[in-house]
Structure 1
Amino acid sequence: MSLSLRVQRKAVEPVRPAGPTPRELKRLSDIDDQDGLRFHNPIIQFYSRDASMSSRDPVVVVRDAVAKALVHYYPFAGRLRELEGRKLAVDYTGEGVLFIEANADVRLEHFGDALQPPFPGLEELIFDVPGSSEGLGTPLLLFQVTRLACGGFILEVRMMHTMADAPGMVQFPAAVADGPGRP
């Protein structure tokens, strides 16, 4: 399937935890600091228009939910540091994650019925902020919320693999999804 899409992005902005977080340095386990895990793993989720949310902007909802979730998952708001012997540690700096607001000129149905990879225009949907994928000293998470012409949206997340295994890669986005209901 050939799909031509244009995505217009606003400037990248940091999203910091919505409340105070500890400031410390924690070494990663020997399993987690392997060279082969030092990359961002992409996650993409498609959402159709929800009439009950029509007065709420998905960009604002997701950005606020990320800030709230980072209070409990504060290591993601830090940065990886390399210690002696190439040992990785997470510096809980509270600097935050990267967030991009975007708009696309397509509707959800343009992607077809079976929303499964390979997705047309994937390079437009999971944006690589220059320097963000180097790992050391860079944000551990990158979010892009892309509004669609139909009222739906696409949530794209790039998560540093050293920070989470497969269950962890599901757990943090689930906490973000719970964010709007949190106090």
Structure 2
Amino acid sequence: MPTGVAISDVPEQLFGAAERVLLRDGPSALTSRAVTTEAGCAKGVLHRHFADFDAFLAEFVLDRVRRIDSQGAALRNSAGTGTVADNLTGALTDLFGSVAVAIVGLVTSRDDLRARLRRTTPTGIPVLTEAAAMVVSYLTAERELGRIAADADVDTLAPTLIGAVHMLFADRKGTPPEAGAVHKVVTAVVAG
């Protein structure tokens, strides 16, 4: 590896490399060597910016979780437009079509990482917990607009939707589900 070459925005470059390795090769292939090789930098670069590899992974997961916040704002802003099922289908397809499914596998497979993440997400699984909060916020807005039943239990509907749609996307290497399959699940859960 070349030395003495300045790298701009090192954490983001390393996070991007981690995402590529995770998506391509899965959680078990995600090592500090794989990340730095993918990023085209020396292994020491990662350790100059993070206390250890689990600290790096925790920051990587939290960075990707923060992206859900912007998706959540967009979903909530769509309240009152289109159809509820279409809005949820689009948002959940975008969420689970991204690195989210792979992150769930990463978090569940690494005890030390999960322990670190418990500091910010004391219950649930990061990504899924934030996704459920995103859906609760959206469904609450739609309930206030009268577009779903006034007595709809959004706190139960949201994790039900997240779990059901996650199951459709759970095969990391398989073909992603068609929009119609996601829409069918969303419609059944919301209507139920």
TM-based fold match above 0.5: no
TM-score normalised over the length of structure 2: 0.29
TM-score normalised over the length of structure 1: 0.30
